[in-house]
Amino acid sequence: MQLFTVKMIAKRIVSFFDASGAKTGERVEEIPQVYRDLPHPTALGYKANFPDNKVEIEAQHGEYAGEGRKGSSYERRERVNVPADFKHTRRAVREKIQEKIAADDLTAAQTGDMSAAINAEMKS
């Protein structure tokens, strides 16, 4: 389904009054508004319902819903290869994590990275 973006400038009338309540003046403010991901009949409805506003209708890029929006890309997660003999129990996972932490601590001390070595010491 093709989606559309409606850009329009809405007008607001601001009135000014003095202390006694008498109208002293007024001004017109223009407020830009943008509506995205609208189907075509809805986009045309904005043009019909707001004839005084400056209404522009633009077709979005992309053929299907959501393709024209920012941040709509789908990222696939990487699968981690796990050895066939690895048991997926809490104890096994906890032991694997402890081994990983111990290996990281040794490499931090061996490389001379003082901040990593101090942080590793603080963890234990």
Whole-model pTM? 0.43
pLDDT for 17-59, tens place per residue? 999 999 999 999 988 999 998 898 998 998 888 877 788 889 8
72 neighbors 66 (Cβ within 8 angstroms) = yes
Both tokens assigned to 90: 């809490």
3-state DSSP helix/strand/coil percent for the chain, to nearest 5? 35, 30, 35
Instruction: Give pLDDT, residue 95.
Output: 83
Cα(50)–Cα(33) distance, rounded to whole angstroms? 12
Task: Delimit the domains of the chain by residue range.
Answer: 4-59, 90-123
